Structure 1
Amino acid sequence: MTTPALQLTVYGTPGPQGSKTRNAHGAMYESSAKVKPWREAVKSAALDALHHDDAWAALDGAVWVDVQFSLRRPKHHFGTGRNAGRLKESAPHFPTGKPDLDKLIRSTQDALKDAGVLVDDSVVASLSASKVYVLWGDALRTPGAVIKVWRLNDLYKEPPA
């Protein structure tokens, strides 16, 4: 398999985008305070990665985006007292609650567009995404995400294995 056109490791708490709340004056705003810092973290990581590539142009052809979000476990997954820091047997293996995976993708793709990685998030023709807890398998050691972007045309040019 070809190497990705871009691979980023972003550190910070992934923030979902999409849920809106209306204030008393009727103005709409993001429900999650984590959206803006997350988008800035993704944008900053992308700009740092592209800083040394003078030939980079925002991708305007079909791309495949793969994202693995690493989330912090809630405190109630751990014991108390002398068992503090030990994971309860009843703790789930995978995060099935909020934030929603599709809303995490939305904020991440918008940040990639803002950073000049993608011309628009509509060029994403294939998407794979997961959310895992930190320190689970190949997850990050702290909250964040590993983002890989492939040009689909490059993948189809490869000779069969």
Structure 2
Amino acid sequence: MTAPAFHITVHGTPGPQGSKNRNAAGALYESSAKVKPWREAVKSAALDVLTYDAAWMPIRDAVRVEIVFSLARPKGHFGTGRNAGQVKASAPQYPTGKPDTDKLLRSTQDALKDAGVLLDDSVVTDTVAAKRYVLTGDDTLSHPGAVIRVWRLNNPKEAAS
């Protein structure tokens, strides 16, 4: 496989986008306060990379997006006393609770669009997403964040020419 068209590492707590609540006046707002800081972190990391590529144009063709979200373990996963800092044997290996992977994808893809990586998030035809605890596997970070890769998909019409 060729190299990704775009690759970044984002530092910060991944925030899900999708669920909305209404305030007393009836206005809608994001239910997660983590959405805005996360989208800004993704946008900032993307713009830092794009600054060095004056010829970059937002991708308008089909892409595959691969993202590994690194989430912090809850405090209850760790021992106490002399075992403080040690993950309990009973702690789950994978994060199965909130945030939902699809909502993390939504906020991240929107941020990639806002940064100018993608013309629109509708160009994403293939996704591979994983949420993991920090330091538990390939592409996981030592702190919350994400590793994001965007791959251009070959256009069969162009390949046949």
Query: Which TM-score band applies after superposition, normalised by the shorter structure?
Result: over 0.9
Query: Which residue is 1:150 aligned to?
Result: 151
Residue 4 to residue 156, structure 1, CA distance change in 2 (3 Å): farther
Shift of 1:154: 7.2
- The 3-state SS of whatever aligns with 1:153 is coil
Determine if the alignment matches structure 1 residue 79 to structure 2 residue 79. yes
Deviations along 1:62-92, one digit per CA (max 9) or x if unpaired, are: 0000000000000000111221111111100
- The 3-state SS of whatever aligns with 2:90 is coil
Structure 1 outlier segments of 4+, above 6 Å: 154-158
- The 3-state SS of whatever aligns with 1:142 is coil
- Structure 2: runs of 5 or more not aligned: none
Residue 156 to residue 22, structure 1, CA distance change in 2 (3 Å): same
- Structure 1: runs of 5 or more not aligned: none
Counterpart Cα distance in 1 of 2:55 and 2:86: 49
Deviations along 1:130-153, one digit per CA (max 9) or x if unpaired, are: 000001122101100000001102
Cα contact 1:2–1:154 (8 A) shared by 2: no
TM-score (norm 2): 0.94
2:10 aligned partner, one-letter code: V
TM-score (norm 1): 0.94
Aligned residues: 158
Deviations along 1:18-75, one digit per CA (max 9) or x if unpaired, are: 0100001000000100000000000000001111111100000000000000000000
